[in-house]
Amino acid sequence: MARWHDVAQALRDAITTGQYPPGSKIPKEEELEAQFGVSRTTVRRAVAQLTTEGLLLPVRRGGTTVRTQPERQTLPLDTRAYRDELGYYFSQTVQPWRALQPPTVTEGPCPPDVAPLLGLAVGDPVVIRDRIMGNPATGRVMQLATSYLPGDLAAGTVLAQPGTGPGGIYDRMENDLGWGTLDWEGVITARSATADEARLLDLAPGTPVLCVTRMTIATAGDAEGRVVEANITRRDASLFEVRYPITRAE
């Protein structure tokens, strides 16, 4: 087979057998070149593969270290919607992250991955509400949250304004826009990080992100039966898992 496959497998084995324990450095590229008798390009192809697999973390001038695999943080599955006088909540646990920047609201064309969720065509106008969440103390970005709303429904309304008032966006939909009692549905997907996501989440290009999407469905008014919001959160897939109980049907 390909030489770089062999080099990658040899490094993988050396890591899993403990020859290079987590946190340790593997030999520099020049030494791997000599060790395996291949060119630097081939060494780099193998290291790149193990990097996207999450095993290695190359850093300029600092060498390439074996990533310490942190326990994944557990996200509870949002199967229930709660509300109090302040608005709706979907998680039973309060997330420790805060918005690192003021949320941005823009209008633009609907991206291909969102169109089927909203029942729109690619390029149709949508209102995009973007939030970057993380640890304010360290500045570390932990999740990206983006809401897409159909432009024909949301543009020019309070939904397209940065502040949505007391109770938030869902109270506006239910009370002010007359969209009835809202329904929600959840979807979990995974895909490679985009260039922007990789930059913001500090990921190597091509590493997977875990996407949790919550769709909001109107039950009355001019939006009846339509998906009026798709809220997509994206996180480093190596750092998070979604966990849920399985109950016995009697």
Q: Residue 200 and residue 194: Cα distance in Å, rounded?
A: 10
Whats the size of the chain, residue-wise?
250
Which residue among 160, 203, 230, 237 contacts a copy of itself (CB under 8 A)? 237
- Mask 11-50, x = binds DNA (CB under 7 A)? -----------------xxx------xxxxxx-xx-x---
Q: How far is the CB of 51 from DNA (least distance, A)?
A: 8
Closest to a copy of itself by CB, 164 vs 216, is 216
SS3 200: helix
Chain positions 73 to 132 lying near a copy of itself, rule: CB under 8 A, are: 77-82, 90, 111-112, 116
Segment holding 184, helix H or strand E: strand 183-192
Least spacing, CB of residue 24 vs a copy of itself, in Å: 15
Q: Are 164 and 141 in contact (CB under 8 A)?
A: no
Of residues 54, 58, 76, 125, which one binds DNA by CB under 7 A? 58
Q: Is 2 in the site for DNA (CB under 7 A)?
A: yes
The 3-state DSSP class for residue 42 equals helix
CB of 248 to a copy of itself, least distance (A): 5
In angstroms, the CA 41 to CA 158 distance is 54
Cα–Cα distance, 185 to 141 (Å, whole number): 26
Q: Interface with DNA by CB under 7 A: which residues?
A: 2-5, 28-30, 37-42, 44-45, 47, 58-64
